[in-house]
Amino acid sequence: MTATMMGGRRTGRMTRKQKRLTLIAGGVGFLSIAVLLVLFAFSQAVAYFYVPGDLEKAHVAPGTRIRLGGLVAAGSVERSAGTTVTFTVTDTLAKVPVTYTGMLPDLFREGQGVVAEGAMNEQGVFVADTVLAKHDETYMPKDVADRLKAQGVSLGGQETIR
């Protein structure tokens, strides 16, 4: 009797079926880990987009990174010493106070579309670390543009939100 044969059973060698099952199980395990890593990476990098009216309903936890889009409300821009600016973003249904420290884009002004990225603080103020000014309604979320048009606000002109 050889070392590989004991009582009619093979030891030390895998059959083709066992090799195939091992390969399939390893592949499924590898793919599962890869999918989990990709999902984790996306969850860390994604910042959801909200307009002020949706933000009130969403109950976003303070500190959660989001993007806030809408129009800079007329009369809301206040510049303090240094580069800190406070302003209000509106979609005509709701308003969200925003504070930002840094250089604002050249296109930033009252009545202009903006997208700010940051997080809400405990006091309900959106603390932005990035502010992008939008050129015209081409870059504005469709629901915001539709709401503004319904209220008679000209998006191509110099009109501002009241």
Do 71 and 131 fall within a single domain?
yes
Provide the pLDDT for residue 57: 84
Cα distances (Å, whole numbers) of residue 46 to 7, 37, 40, 49, 93: 60, 14, 10, 9, 25
The dihedral over CA atoms of 56, 62, 65, 69, expressed in degrees to the nearest 10, equals 30
- Classify residue 100: in a domain, yes or no: yes
- Whether the per-residue pLDDT at 157 is higher than 60: the answer is no
What mean pLDDT comes out for the span 2-11? Answer: 54
Provide the pLDDT for residue 112: 87
Do 35 and 74 fall within a single domain?
no
What mean pLDDT comes out for the span 45-67? Answer: 83
Tell me the pairing of strands 5-6 and 84-90. Answer: unpaired
Do 73 and 36 fall within a single domain?
no
For the chain, what is the total number of helices (H) and then of strands (E)? 3, 9
- Classify residue 84: in a domain, yes or no: yes
- Of 66 and 158, which is predicted with more confidence? 66
Secondary-structure percent of the chain, ordered helix, strand, coil, rounded to 5: 30, 30, 40
Paired with 86 in beta bridges are 78, 99
- Of 114 and 5, which is predicted with more confidence? 114
Do 36 and 73 fall within a single domain?
no
- Whether the per-residue pLDDT at 134 is higher than 90: the answer is no
Provide the pLDDT for residue 72: 92
Average pLDDT, rounded, for the chain: 81
Distance CA 158, CA 112 (A): 9
Do 20 and 84 fall within a single domain?
no
Do 113 and 70 fall within a single domain?
yes
Domain residue limits at 71: 48-150
- Classify residue 95: in a domain, yes or no: yes
Do 68 and 130 fall within a single domain?
yes
pTM: 0.61
